[in-house]
Amino acid sequence: SGASNYPIIYTGDPEGRTRILGAQLLNDFKPVTDESTLRLMDEVAREEVVQVDLKALGITDYGSPKGNGMALYFGGEPMALSRWPNEGFVNVVDVSDYDGHVTHGRKGSKTGKFIYDDERPARWVNEKDPWVHGYWFWDWSDERQPIANIDTENKTLTLAEPYHNYGYRKGQWYYAYNLLSELDTPGEWYIDRDTGLLYFWPPEPVDENECLVSISSSILKLADVSHMTFSNLHFEGTRHTAITMQGGTENRVSDCTFHNMGASAVSIANGTKHGVTGCEIYNMGGGGIHINAGDRTTLTPAGNFADNNHIHHFGQVKRVYQAAISLNGVGNSAAHNHIHDAPHMAIGFGGNDQLMEYNEIHDVCLESNDAGAIYTGRNWTMRGNVVRYNYMYDINGFRDEGCVGVYLDDMFSSCEIYGNLFVNVYRAAFIGGGRDCTVENNIFVNCKRGLHIDARALGWAHGHSDEWIAEQKEKGTISGIAYDKPPYSDRYPILSDIMKGEPAAPEGNRITTNIAIGEPWEDIEEKARPYLHIENNLVDVDPLFVDAANGDYRLKEDSPAHKIGFKPLPYDKMGLLKKE
């Protein structure tokens, strides 16, 4: 460690690129000559694919195709593990065994056996280790699984056990991968884990570009380390998270680049006042920055922060619940970040007194539905969280079938959604049966449903609230928290009285002073409406933006929004701040 007035600083040349690699350089590629291997390959690939002997280079740990295994990078970009189709997905034609599995009215099967309608799987019969990756039942839950059997006569695929927890359903989407026979396009590769031979179709001459395979699990592990800074460094090529911090205080990761990694960039656990600032994070197999610190029992804030980072093209291996930034614990923040291009969420949070502000978020939830760009769920005691002054746009879900801007799922309560700009978001602000939330002073433009509120704890989701109520009666706690005693009773006095009314009802939600234009705004369950406080919103009235066609949503002086008390949004502070 350093000291508060004498920090230890590791820095690279700001004018160059100081690289710290968790990868090994590959060379000595040769043509493929083995006849049995060539017969298995696609005809178009036989003269294009080259091979390298990893065992001869001392590389014997290849990991699993399931994830966090070896990855290949060429010319600074990740290459694709051989797959079919080469892009996108194919749909499950039907499941083979309807075994009575029904969830929320959707029929499927718990048995991993389903029907396909293409001739392509016939090519995989002689593959050593074929896998599939799919969204098997729900649009927000994916899993990678090995193929156990291919029945070409009946066109069925049987997966190896254990089967996917949620089961399988007709119409869901998947692709197959880790197939030598599907190495049929530039940029694809495959490892024979028995022989240690790596096969690769380089998109450019293999000897004219750098080719790397990921080797190291991580790069830096800081245990109870304080007052240390890492700046102007370029981290790449790990199979897991590059930097982990456990405990300590006031460490900084600033102006660094993280890319081409199997998991995430930085993980902070239990420390205080650590910060990740000014970094670019991209081509990540998992998420970006994960913070879990602060004491929920005592409500002691940790004060960690992720500020002014550009995080994009993440979640490339682990597709869902891999946030660009996640905040858990108490009293952490994410501000001025630019987040885009991901299959699932941008920011995930839980705990108390988390602050998410001035972020620019777009083009996320690209491969999932019933998902949230900013997401949390399922707790009455996680209070004091604020989502404000964020610019969120072009968020519509996979195949435009629906996702959410700020998603308070399954009775999550007491979140303030204030001063955000939502443009072209399928559902913008979503309160899933929760209590004591505020949606105030936001702008909704061309959102298919700007506001969603339901009363699910009074209906299909009552099981969760029933458990919390039963726990309170038996133990006097809710989710393990002494909710009606200090510090909770002091910090959140309204929580202390939750059992005196209708705890499962969406009481205490305030919807006020918002602007909504372009699409129907409300999507409110009638059962919820009597419990809501909705007033003073400007809906379907031209708010007189300065130049909405060109993205200028400032209000003109004669805007009717001024009469309802709408306060101007700080557009110039949203997103990345310019570095001095």
Q: What is the pLDDT of residues 150-201, one digit of tens each?
A: 999 999 999 999 999 999 999 999 999 999 999 999 999 999 999 999 999 9
Q: Is the pTM of this model over 0.75?
A: yes
Looking at every residue in the chain, the average pLDDT score rounds to 96
Half-sphere exposure of 482 (CA within 13 A, CB side): 7
The answer to whether 434 touches 458, Cβ cutoff 8 Å, is: no
pLDDT higher than threshold 80 for residue 15:
no
pLDDT higher than threshold 70 for residue 16:
no
| Average pLDDT of the residues in 474-489 | 97
pLDDT higher than threshold 70 for residue 442:
yes
41-67 burial, b at 16+ Cβ within 10 Å, e below that, comes to bbeebeebbbbbebeebebeeebebeb
Question: What per-residue confidence (pLDDT) applies to 539?
Answer: 97
Interatomic CA distance for residues 307 and 392, integer angstroms:
17
Pairing between β-strand 243-246 and β-strand 220-223 as defined by DSSP bridges: parallel
pLDDT higher than threshold 80 for residue 580:
no
Question: What per-residue confidence (pLDDT) applies to 61?
Answer: 96
| Average pLDDT of the residues in 546-559 | 96
The answer to whether 477 touches 465, Cβ cutoff 8 Å, is: no
Residue 3, both tokens = 């000291």
The answer to whether 370 touches 106, Cβ cutoff 8 Å, is: no
List pLDDT tens digits, range 273-321. 999 999 999 999 999 999 999 999 999 999 999 999 999 999 999 999 9
Sign of CA pseudo-dihedral 395, 398, 402, 403: negative
pLDDT higher than threshold 70 for residue 32:
yes
∠ Cα 265 337 491 (to 5°): 95
Taking alpha carbons only, the member of 490, 484, 486, 522 closest to residue 503 is: 484
Confidence band of 17 (pLDDT split at 50, 70, 90): confident
The answer to whether 191 touches 72, Cβ cutoff 8 Å, is: no
Residue 291, both tokens = 């913070």
CA distances from 227 to 7, 248, 275, 331 (A): 5, 8, 11, 20
Question: What per-residue confidence (pLDDT) applies to 399?
Answer: 84
pLDDT higher than threshold 90 for residue 578:
no
Question: What per-residue confidence (pLDDT) applies to 448?
Answer: 92
Peptide linkage before 85 cis (omega within 30 of 0) = yes
List pLDDT tens digits, range 513-545. 999 999 889 999 999 999 999 999 999 999 999
pLDDT higher than threshold 70 for residue 389:
yes
377 phi and psi angles, rounded to 5 deg: -175, 160
The answer to whether 434 touches 465, Cβ cutoff 8 Å, is: no
List pLDDT tens digits, range 230-243. 999 999 999 999 99
**Percentage above 90 pLDDT, the chain:** 95
Pairing between β-strand 156-159 and β-strand 113-115 as defined by DSSP bridges: antiparallel
